[in-house]
Structure 1
Amino acid sequence: MDSSHSEITPATLSLNISVFNPANIKSWFIQIQVLFDTKQITLQRTQYTYLVEKLPSDIVDLLETIPEENPYDWLKEAILKRTGLSNESLLRNLFTHVESEDRTPSQLLRHLRTLLGDNKMSKNIMRSLWLDKLPASTVQIVAPTAEGIEPDKLTEIADQIHENLRTC
């Protein structure tokens, strides 16, 4: 869909891409894509230019060779390969380093799914992992009813329980 015309409009001039976030690259790219979609920025070259503007100097060496076709897609893939964790590291983090912290049960489940990335995991294993990461008081109430309930419905119930326990 690339063409030679420019996409510069008052709307695109005010595009505010967040600072590069190496801690969560996939979320950063999702935010950028939403901005591009909202501002109707579809040209690969324009997207590429906006992306380069936000890159830290240690990533800039990726820019030595820029393909003529789909430069934004090429750069995005190169950044993900360079800075992203391997699937093995993502899974290790999923099982060992994730804590509930201040997350609601539904936020925790979304976080676990993000860490899972492109890997597949059965609903039962994900539910068990999620329950292991929840506060014990929430688990005591949710666990007996967890079997057979869809994960999204279960998180709604857990969020309500979590909120009620916090206000007590």
Structure 2
Amino acid sequence: MATFDSTTLTGAPRVTVRLPPFWAEQPAIWFAQAEAQFPLANIGDEQTKFYYTISQPDQRYAARVAPPVHIPYATLRAVAVGRLTPSKERRIYQIITVEEMGDRKPWQFLGHLRTLAPDMPEYIMRPIWASRLPPQIREYSLAKMSARTFPDRPVPATREATPSTFVHSDLKKCTHVFLRRVTTSRALELTYSGPYQVLSRKDKSMQILVRGRLATVSTDRVKPAYLLNETGRGTTTKTFNPAADETPTAVPHAVPPQHVQRTTRSGRHVHFADCFNS
């Protein structure tokens, strides 16, 4: 990489110009890199730009350009790009006969071929690209490209963060359910309470009778209750009739317990708990 100090040209201290090595395969890109250095060094004179750029190409490319000293920088740039840039026919010939994969990855090699001939159709570019790949990676690269370009079917959207909720199938026809507690349970406390009678149900909720009150709960909080029938053999499952549940069911009012007064042998009047009154 050439380094120049522009102080000797104008007498004013400026940023040192560092031009990259001349790139004969892409002269337009090289001139763009060189022109990015000129504003940093506060260089705007065409003759100064000419002196910097003409010293970079080696003898082969300098002879092909053969620029006169008196021409401005813009003319030098146009002549160099026009004479050193390969023609379209030469780039296609280079792709077909010369270019090899080398140490590039398959996708890097394909991008390089597209850079050489951006107007070449894909149905011509891909067979040439595939023929230069090693046999052990050719099938894998072609299959991967086909999967990217032509998918067999669209990938369905998923919601992996949403857990699926288990709903028991017997909830559609059971008459009583157990209700899961939502509060923090204490030691030896049951997780479910009930059973409670089912009054009506919908797709995601149901109405149950909890201690004489109507409560609407979600179906993921309940599980079916299996009750013994009157004969004591097996369980009874009453089929739920949705049509009958469309009409609101009257909730029975809780009857307050009647305290029974008893008289002991000593003549004292006492009240016992309900469990002792039979």
Aligned to 2:14: 10
Residues 41 and 47, structure 1, Cα contact 8 Å, conserved in 2: no
- One-letter amino acid of the counterpart of residue 55, structure 1: P
Name the CA shift for 1:52/1:97 in 2 (closer, same or farther; >3 Å): same
Identity of aligned residues (%): 25
SS, match of residue 63 in structure 1? coil
1:35/1:95 CA distance change after superposition, 3 Å: farther
Cα offset, 1:35, TM superposition = 3.8
Deviation at residue 93 of structure 1 after TM alignment: 0.3
> Could you tell me how far 1:91 is from its partner in structure 2?
0.9
Report how far residue 100 of structure 1 moved: 0.4
The AA in structure 2 aligned to 1:10 is: R
Task: Flag the 1:30–1:112 CA change in 2: closer, same or farther, 3 A.
Answer: farther
Which structure: greater strand fraction? 2
Return the TM-score normalized by structure 2: 0.40
Residue in structure 1 matched with residue 119 of structure 2 by the alignment: 120
Code of the residue aligned with 1:144 in structure 2: it is A
Once residues 32 and 41 of structure 2 are traced to their aligned partners in structure 1, the CA distance between those partners, rounded to angstroms, is: 15
Q: Which residue of 1 aligns with 2:103?
A: 102
Aligned position for 1:74:
75
Cα distance in 2 for residues equivalent to 1:40 and 1:110? 34
- The letter for the 1-side match of 2:92 is L
Task: Tell me which residue corresponds to 1:83.
Answer: 84
* AA matched with 2:76: L
Aligned-partner residue type, residue 48 of structure 1? F
Higher relative contact order (CA 8 A, sep 6+): 1
Point out the more displaced range, 131-140 or 23-32.
Answer: 23-32
Task: Map Cα deviations across residues 51-87 of structure 1 (whole Å, 9 max, x no partner).
Answer: 1232345346312551xxxx33321220122233222
Cα 1:143–1:136 shift into 2, 3 Å: same
Stretches of structure 1 lacking an aligned partner (at least 5 in a row): 1-5, 151-168
Partner deviation per Cα, 1:22-73 (whole Å, 9 max, x = no partner): 3443443343344447x3767361433321232345346312551xxxx333
Deviations 1:115-167 (A, max 9, x none): 22xx51223433333222222222211212323635xxxxxxxxxxxxxxxxx
TM-score of the aligned structures, taking structure 1 as reference length? 0.61
**Structure 2 matches for 1:1-168, cutoff 5 A?**
10-11=14-15, 13=16, 15-36=17-38, 39=40, 43=44, 45=46, 46-57=48-59, 58-59=62-63, 61-66=66-71, 71-116=72-117, 120-147=119-146, 149=148
Q: How many equivalent pairs are there?
A: 135
Q: Which moved more, 1:92-101 or 1:78-87?
A: 78-87
